[in-house]
Amino acid sequence: MKESNFILPEYPITLEAGKIEWKAPSNIALIKYWGKKGLQIPANPSLSFTLQKSLTSTSLSYSPIEKSENFSFEVFFDGKPNPDFKPKIEDFLSRVDPYLPFLKKFHFKIETTNTFPHSSGIASSASGFAALALCFAELERIMNTGIDPELFLKKASFMARLGSGSASRSIQGPLMLWGDHSMFEGSSDIYAVVYPFEVHPVFRSFHDTILLVDRGRKSVSSSMGHQLMVGHRYAGKRFDQASDNRTAMKAILKNGDLNRFVEIVESEALSLHAMMMTSIPYYLLMQPNTVAIIQKIWEFRLRTGLHLCFTLDAGANVHLLFPDDESVEVYNFIQEELLEHCDQGGLIKDRVGLGAVMVS
């Protein structure tokens, strides 16, 4: 499917004022997207678990106006006006404008809130742009009720991607693929799709407990990080590695081989951070507590033979991934040995989820 498929020929229904609300989850990449080409085209394919409880709720109130030159909108976060979000949303609107040609005929009030704490160091861009894209896709669907449900979801993912790449994977679940890959028919660089192959039941109830090591703002943003992959000495090898890892994951996800799963997931996380450490300028987002947690996880695995593993986003917080039938032992371990490394004992207990939902 091409970009042009996302342009609808007509909008038969004229709208009065109204309001739409969607809730979208965050996601955690197993195979990491790091590095892009052009406008949010991933340099390598990625694969993620959609989460269940870490959500952004966004409502879009719309009222028709005389067509204006600029976008007309206001943004509220947690009930208060938040002009800081405006530039990013303005950029998003200009990117989706060619696919939603009615945007300048409305005034919008965007109200957004997250279920996870504001100062947790958890990026809300994936869930945030997914929820926002779904609100706009819904607005379009009200004006053209005939839109095919598949096209609706693909377009929402496509638009979310234009806000933040990883947001493309926050529309559906439980496992999402983004990025063209010959082994995965139907995969695309311009939107994410539900992982189309057999998945062993163990992965359908996987846990992701997020240990909050650092709640601050990152010293280097993800956008800057992606940019530093341009001309990076190891970039080519890294893109090949991600591609090979995604191929290898196909068999692992089918047969439930948790030992191989652990190996690939942790290797992906460390490779992502290795790219940061070998960028020019180089930087480090892990903190001493991140490393302490990783070492304790390795000791725990040696001691118990269980399958707890970690992954990292572009930050210091640690995502603990583990199967449901090992959760009692893992929670005890977290309580006894890992909580001391979290900022004020902060953690979020999440699980694999099924994707975004509309709030009626």
Residues lying near ligand PMV in the complex (CB under 6 A) are found at 29, 32-34, 46, 123, 125, 164-166, 222, 226, 272, 313-314
User: Cα–Cα distances in Å, from 135 out to 52, 58, 167, 209, 268?
Assistant: 19, 8, 14, 28, 33
Residue among 276, 246, 268 nearest 321 (CA): 268
In the bound complex, what is the minimum distance in angstroms from residue 234's beta carbon to ligand PMV?
Answer: 16
- Give the DSSP letter of residue 41: E
Query: Phi-psi category of 255—alpha, beta or left, where left has phi over 0 and alpha has psi -120 to 50?
Result: alpha
Closer residue to ligand PMV, CB minimum distance, 29 or 338: 29
List the structure tokens of 107.
């005034």
Closer residue to ligand PMV, CB minimum distance, 26 or 61: 26
In the bound complex, what is the minimum distance in angstroms from residue 16's beta carbon to ligand PMV?
Answer: 35
Rounded-to-integer distance, Cα 291 and Cα 282, Å: 18
In the bound complex, what is the minimum distance in angstroms from residue 210's beta carbon to ligand PMV?
Answer: 13
In the bound complex, what is the minimum distance in angstroms from residue 84's beta carbon to ligand PMV?
Answer: 17
Closer residue to ligand PMV, CB minimum distance, 51 or 308: 51
Closer residue to ligand PMV, CB minimum distance, 34 or 108: 34
Closer residue to ligand PMV, CB minimum distance, 123 or 253: 123
**End-to-end distance of the chain based on CA atoms, in angstroms?**
30
In the bound complex, what is the minimum distance in angstroms from residue 256's beta carbon to ligand PMV?
Answer: 23
As separate numbers, helices (DSSP H) first and strands (DSSP E) second, the chain gives: 8, 14
Rounded-to-integer distance, Cα 122 and Cα 13, Å: 39
Closer residue to ligand PMV, CB minimum distance, 140 or 268: 268
In the bound complex, what is the minimum distance in angstroms from residue 293's beta carbon to ligand PMV?
Answer: 18
Q: What angle do CA 317, 322, 328 make, to 5 degrees?
A: 105
